[in-house]
Amino acid sequence: MSPVIVTRELSRTFRTYRKPEGLLNSVRYFFKRDWQDKVALAPTSLEIGGGQIVGLVGANGAGKTTLLKLLCGLIHASAGDARVLGHDPAARSPELLRRISILLGQKAQLWWDLPAADSFDLLARIYDLDLAAAKRRVAELADLMQCTSLLETQLRRLSLGERMKMEIIGALLHKPAVLFLDEPTIGLDIVAQSTIRKFLATYVEQEKPTVILTSHYMDDISLLADRLLLISHGRIVYDGTVEGFTARTVTRQRVTLKLGEPAGSDHDLGGGQVLSRGAEIFSGDYPAAEVAKVLERVMQVARITDVKIEETDFEDVIRTFLEAETPRNPATAASPVVG
Amino acid sequence: MLETRSRAASLRGLWRRSVGSARLAVLSQFEYRFNLIADTVIQPVLTAVVEVALWWALFWSIGTAAGLAAGEATLGGFGRDYYLSYALWAAFFSRIYASWMYEFRMTEEIDTGAVNSILVRPLGFYEYYLAQFMAYKVMTAAITLSVWLVFTQFFDSQTIFSRLPLALALAFFHLFLVHTISFCIASCAFFYNRVHSFTVAKNISLWMLSGELFPLDLMPEPLRSILINLPFACGVYVPVGYVTGRFGAERVWSGFLSIAIGLVVFGLLASVLWNAGRRRYTGQGA
């Protein structure tokens, strides 16, 4: 089966200018701008097959959204080319646009002034769908996401989580073959995140679109993605499975222990760890497998009244991975790590 | 055969999208009731009152200076009552061609990246806003016209009512040109982001070029002939002059032709600006 998405040395450079703060600099830079080129996406070649669910992960400013925007034709490439379902996305052919959809987290694409139901009616006309069939599909999707009662409320009056549900319905109304999800759960509360994740998991299972998903939440990726692309400074540095990535990185947790009374003296806990004299709080980042040993060592020398264990921030997981990859010179790295 | 079917399907699709966009504009207007009343009644009435007052005062001054009663003075061969009628109908037709609201929205969408929601859909930015603009104007013009028809019952407005349909047809055909110019200005947002000052400059220019400020035949030659033959005069001067009996239908048909030429010129410019702007577009902020 031919790939659905193909890029060949696709890259994008943005031109920006810097301006130091202050009124004098504003006047000075009014006449002469200090332009700089920023490579948002380095030449990237990849192929994505039909039905694949690809998690695109990276730190802020890594190039995830730039890649997504290039693939759905929002922006033109500086060099290289891309093909989505056989079409050049930048050409915006109606045949392609009717088969793709993009969902931008926290960005409204439905019409702010209208109830969602009116927006869906307009979308049905834009995508040349049968109106009755579109209405049934809206009812079906709204029922799955338990938001039927919100269809007749102006979008501006809905909460963020409620709006995102409407945006998802709008994005899926025309049954796209390729779905671009840019941080679909960002800013949502835990319940809304869970609802949307479960819905998307069910949807991709049933409809089998090709999905490109970017997210900072590992839960989004681990639940949905069967392929992981890690992008850093505009380059893909890992291309493989989620399990392969997890196996390569050591999951860490932040442990914070509140002591019953200040430590009476310095205690060497072994492995380079020290509980300092007078400390009332002990904290540190440890590999998940070692957390129990750390607790045991501290309990041997102090009384613990409160324990907090947190997953290390995903950005730290990526940083850890990148630090492990540092011996590979990024300037000459021609291909990503494949897992 | 396939090409014909494809073209038919394409036209049908365009019609459906346009109907959808037009419907969107009407529904949106009904969401904000006070704004709709202000736009269709309060604003045109205020404009008419100001312009009528201006011409009334002018003729009073002319009459006083010439030792005549205000009603006997003339300007450019026309008397006070004619200019008051002109001012009344100019206020109506100027509300039709005013496009700043939709131009502002188009510009803002490009500046902020909100245009992404159009770019990812099988929908043209030009057609999307044209359909909304036209629907909005039909709706608001119908409401305002009903108020105007009541007004004109109370004094001699020198209106030839049988000429209204052709005058309105010209005014609405002129809207295609207005929208194309707005599209050109909005496309500049790809290059300069904030271009609201372009809108202000354009509006000031059209205020005179359309004949809203004063009838264009008060200008000296050759400026008079040039301005009257430009398509912008079809916004106010030509339809108002026709409805008030200043000239006949031949001027209106010339207006249709000049608008068509204007559409070709500004259409080409719009296409160049849009395509160049799209290549530069970064989508940042969205």
**Residue A80, φ and ψ in degrees, nearest 5:** 80, 180
Q: Looking at CA atoms only, how far is residue A68 from chain B in angstroms?
A: 11
pLDDT in tens, A87-142: 999 999 999 999 999 998 777 788 888 899 999 999 999 999 999 999 999 999 99
pLDDT score of A250: 62
Over residues B197-206, mean pLDDT: 94
Q: Looking at CA atoms only, how far is residue A36 from chain B in angstroms?
A: 15
- Distance, CA of B70 to CA of B82 (rounded, Å): 12
- Exposed / middle / buried, residue A8 (Cβ in 10 Å: 0-12, 13-18, 19+): middle
Q: Check whether A68 has a pLDDT greater than 90.
A: yes
User: Between chains, do A97 and B23 touch, taking CB under 8 Å as contact?
Assistant: no
Best interface-test mutation with B: which of A87, A114, A125, A156 has the largest number of B CBs within 10 A? A125
Q: Identify the H or E element spanning A10.
A: strand A5-18
Chain B residue numbers with beta carbons less than 8 Å from the beta carbon of A109 are 116-117, 120
Whole-angstrom CA distances from B276 to A67, A124, B53, B126, B177 are 21, 30, 47, 15, 21
B283 touches chain A (CB under 8 A): yes
Q: Dump the DSSP string for A285-329.
A: EEEGGGHHHHHHHHHHHS-EEEEEEEEPPHHHHHHHHHHHHTTS-
Of B21, B23, B121, the CB nearest to A97: B121
Q: Identify the H or E element spanning A211.
A: strand A210-214
User: Between chains, do B283 and A75 touch, taking CB under 8 Å as contact?
Assistant: yes
pLDDT in tens, A282-316: 888 888 788 888 888 889 888 999 999 887 665 56
pLDDT score of A115: 92
Q: Check whether B82 has a pLDDT greater than 70.
A: yes
Number of neighbours of residue B156 by Cβ within 10 angstroms: 9
Closest chain B residue by Cα to residue A104:
B286
Over residues A62-73, mean pLDDT: 92
Chain B residue numbers with beta carbons less than 8 Å from the beta carbon of A92 are 119
More confident site: B276 or B75: B276
Under the phi-then-psi rule, with left for phi > 0, alpha for psi from -120 to 50, and beta for the rest, what region is B37? alpha
Number of neighbours of residue A215 by Cβ within 10 angstroms: 23
Helix axis angle for B249-280 and B125-151, nearest 10°, is: 150
Over residues B52-56, mean pLDDT: 86
- Distance, CA of B191 to CA of B187 (rounded, Å): 8
pLDDT score of A113: 85
- Distance, CA of B175 to CA of B97 (rounded, Å): 6
Of A109, A114, A126, the CB nearest to B27: A114
- Distance, CA of B158 to CA of B83 (rounded, Å): 10
Burial B121-143 (b: 16+ CB within 10 A, else e): bbbbbbebbbbbbbbbbbbbbee
pLDDT score of A167: 92
Supply the DSSP symbol for B163: G
Instruction: Say which range, A149-158, A181-190, A225-234, B175-184, has the weakest mean pLDDT.
Output: A181-190
Over residues B76-90, mean pLDDT: 86
Chain A residue numbers with beta carbons less than 8 Å from the beta carbon of B274 are none
SS3 label, residue B42: helix
Of A69, A113, A123, the CB nearest to B28: A113
User: Between chains, do B20 and A74 touch, taking CB under 8 Å as contact?
Assistant: no
Look up the pTM and report it: 0.84
User: Between chains, do B122 and A127 touch, taking CB under 8 Å as contact?
Assistant: yes
> CA angle, B85 as apex, B83 and B86 as ends, to 5°?
60
- Residue in B62, B103, B105 with CA at minimum distance from that of residue B80: B62
- Nearest 10 degrees: CA dihedral of A187, A193, A196, A199? 160
Of B116, B120, B281, the CB nearest to A97: B120
Q: Is the bond leading into B222 cis (omega within 30 degrees of zero)?
A: yes
User: Between chains, do B120 and A101 touch, taking CB under 8 Å as contact?
Assistant: yes
User: Between chains, do B21 and A122 touch, taking CB under 8 Å as contact?
Assistant: yes
Domains of chain A as residue ranges with CATH: 51-248 (3.40.50.300), 252-311 (no CATH)
Chain B residue numbers with beta carbons less than 8 Å from the beta carbon of A118 are 24, 27
- Distance, CA of A72 to CA of A275 (rounded, Å): 53
pLDDT in tens, B118-132: 999 999 999 999 999
Q: Looking at CA atoms only, how far is residue A72 from chain B in angstroms?
A: 7
Chain B residue numbers with beta carbons less than 8 Å from the beta carbon of A101 are 120
Sign of CA dihedral A65, A69, A71, A76: negative
Number of neighbours of residue A308 by Cβ within 10 angstroms: 11
User: Cβ(A11)–Cβ(A80) under 8 Å?
Assistant: yes
pLDDT in tens, B117-174: 999 999 999 999 999 999 999 999 999 999 888 878 776 678 899 999 999 999 999 9
- Distance, CA of A159 to CA of A147 (rounded, Å): 12
User: Between chains, do A125 and B31 touch, taking CB under 8 Å as contact?
Assistant: no
pLDDT score of A318: 66
Q: Looking at CA atoms only, how far is residue B47 from chain A in angstroms?
A: 28
Best interface-test mutation with A: which of B31, B116, B120 has the largest number of A CBs within 10 A? B120
ipTM: 0.85
- Residue in B60, B27, B138 with CA at minimum distance from that of residue A121: B27
- Distance, CA of A221 to CA of A203 (rounded, Å): 15
Whole-angstrom CA distances from B260 to A37, B97, B121, B232, B254 are 43, 16, 29, 12, 10
pLDDT score of B190: 95
User: Between chains, do A69 and B122 touch, taking CB under 8 Å as contact?
Assistant: no
- Residue in A311, A333, A308, A332 with CA at minimum distance from that of residue A320: A311
Of B20, B28, B119, the CB nearest to A125: B20
Interfacial B residues in 45-104 facing A (CB < 8 Å): none
Chain A residue numbers with beta carbons less than 8 Å from the beta carbon of B28 are 111, 113-114
- Gap between the terminal Cα atoms of chain B: 43
- Residue in A157, A110, A120 with CA at minimum distance from that of residue A141: A120
Chain A residue numbers with beta carbons less than 8 Å from the beta carbon of B284 are 14
- Gap between the terminal Cα atoms of chain A: 22
User: Cβ(A263)–Cβ(A281) under 8 Å?
Assistant: no
Chain B residue numbers with beta carbons less than 8 Å from the beta carbon of A74 are 116, 119-120, 281, 283
User: Cβ(B119)–Cβ(A74) under 8 Å?
Assistant: yes
User: Between chains, do B122 and A94 touch, taking CB under 8 Å as contact?
Assistant: yes
The domains of chain B are located at 2-280
- Per the prediction, chain A carries an average pLDDT of 86
pLDDT score of A104: 84
Whole-angstrom CA distances from B73 to A174, B69, B111 are 67, 7, 52
Sequence-distant (6+) residues with CB within 8 A of A117 are A138, A151, A152
Of B17, B32, B281, the CB nearest to A75: B281
Best interface-test mutation with B: which of A41, A112, A122 has the largest number of B CBs within 10 A? A122
- Distance, CA of A61 to CA of A275 (rounded, Å): 38
- Distance, CA of A260 to CA of A304 (rounded, Å): 6
What is the interface size between A and B, counted as CB pairs within 8 Å?
74
Q: Residue holding tokens 């200008």?
A: B219
- Distance, CA of A329 to CA of A324 (rounded, Å): 12
- Strand B78-79 versus strand B74-75 pairing type: antiparallel
User: Between chains, do B122 and A125 touch, taking CB under 8 Å as contact?
Assistant: no
Q: Check whether B183 has a pLDDT greater than 80.
A: yes
